[in-house]
Structure 1
Amino acid sequence: MTTLEPGGVIRAASLPVPLEALPHAQVEAGAPRAGSVALAAFEGLEVGVWEHTPGVSTDVEIDEVFVVLSGAARIDMVEPEGESLEVGPGDVVRLVAGQRTRWTVTETLRKIYLA
């Protein structure tokens, strides 16, 4: 974990995030890679930076709020079914634990998450 100290600053937009290939069962198109770096934990929350390269993948979410720093994606709410979200820089999104999603990332997506 890269530690964000009280009164400190981390340049989230340029922070190195180690990326790994996603599990084959999660990949629907392309060869997306993803990774995250935890920055801090407090009051039961983890704060970090997450990145996903172009491609299509599925996930089962945890309770999370995130802010998109860069990139572009469509997030389809698969189960329970819901509206698709087109997200880009500055967007704030909330996901719910157990929700099944499909991420179509068209430009490497980087976000700050609170989970």
Structure 2
Amino acid sequence: MAIVCRTGAVTRADQTHTPLELPLADPLGADIATTYLEVFSGKAASLDVGIWETDPGRSRWDFTDSGEVIYVISGRMTVTEDGKEPQHIEPGDLVVFPVGWAGFWEVTEPLKKVYVIFE
């Protein structure tokens, strides 16, 4: 059976509220509020799929042990991989952070995304 999540119907009230913190990411400055709804988790925890929202803020990400694919539903951010040029991300963008990616996320507008975390 396919797992279907009508992303447009998911509100922050449907999601788990948590601050952005390690080991996921290191917020740089004030606390950054986030919410998420896990849609799927693999048996061996090697695949997690869900919806995640965050308030604006700057954070450091290090995908040492896993990678992430995101589809941006709303909001904007700039991602800057260490040693690379910044990339501007907006609604409708599909972004892959491969295993080994490290750098900064600067969320400039409240962001809502679908995520797939893989090992």
SS of the residue corresponding to residue 97 of structure 1 reads coil
1:72 aligns with 2:95: no
Structure 1: gaps (5+ residues): 1-5
Q: Deviations over 1:44-71 (max 9, x none)?
A: 5322111221111111123121110010
TM-score (norm: length of structure 2) = 0.74
Question: 1:18 maps to which residue?
Answer: 16
Change (3 A) 1:65 1:23: closer
Aligned-partner Cα distance in 1 for 2:57–2:16: 17
TM-score, reference length from structure 1: 0.76
Q: Could you tell me which runs of 5 or more consecutive residues in structure 2 were left unpaired when the two chains were aligned.
A: none
**Change beyond 3 A, Cα 1:84–1:42:** same
Size of the aligned set, in residue pairs, is 108
User: What fraction of aligned residue pairs are identical, expressed as a percent?
Assistant: 28
Q: Over the residues paired in the alignment, what is the CA RMSD in angstroms? A: 2.5
1:8–1:60 CA distance, 2 compared to 1 (3 A): closer
Query: Cα gap change, 1:54/1:10 in structure 2, threshold over 3 Å: closer, same or farther?
Result: same
